[in-house]
Amino acid sequence: MGEQQHVTFPQEVIDEYAALGVDLPALFSAGHLGTRMGVEILEASAERVVGTMPVEGNTQPYGLLHGGASAVLAETLGSVGSMLHAGSSKIAVGVDLNCTHHRGVRSGLVTGVATPLHRGRSTATYEIVISDEAGRRVCSARLTCLLRDVAASQLPGPGANG
């Protein structure tokens, strides 16, 4: 679960962050929580973010996928899409997350796909559909992020204040 992830970003995004001294592919992860939960990002662009998470280790007492685990996957994917939409001069901060849980899952891997509903200058909203291995919808989520201006010195990376 804590292994290095390989995330594919569009080359123009990698170049934009590299100009600021930030190695985006080396920097990016689903965070410590996402790592503990086994979240892996498979595809990342402002138009579509795809990630997976194992059910095992992310269940509630009845043995079903925990609704909070689905929320972590949804917020991770929507935040990545929002960050890529915003560009290197802004940070994406989640301000609203809504999750509807449709069915229980006891094992296997769930896959989330985040697609934009709105991409503006100050906010971005993504729909995230989480499905089981049979392609059945497990959870529908919607995340809205505030896009805040940030100075290059505030971006994580070498020599930054982090």
Strand partners, 116: 126
- What residues contact residue 68 under an 8 Å CB cut-off, 6+ apart? none
Distances (CA, A) of 119 to 57, 77, 83, 85, 96: 34, 15, 11, 7, 15
Does the annotation count 75 as an active-site position? yes
How far apart CA 20 and CA 88 sit, in angstroms, is 8
Backbone angles phi, psi at 88, to 5 degrees: -75, -10
Q: Say whether 75 sits in a helix, a strand or coil.
A: helix
- Residue from 16, 40, 75, 127 carrying the catalytic annotation: 75
Residue 117: its H or E element: strand 109-119
DSSP state, residue 135: S
How far apart CA 84 and CA 41 sit, in angstroms, is 14
Give catalytic residue positions: 75
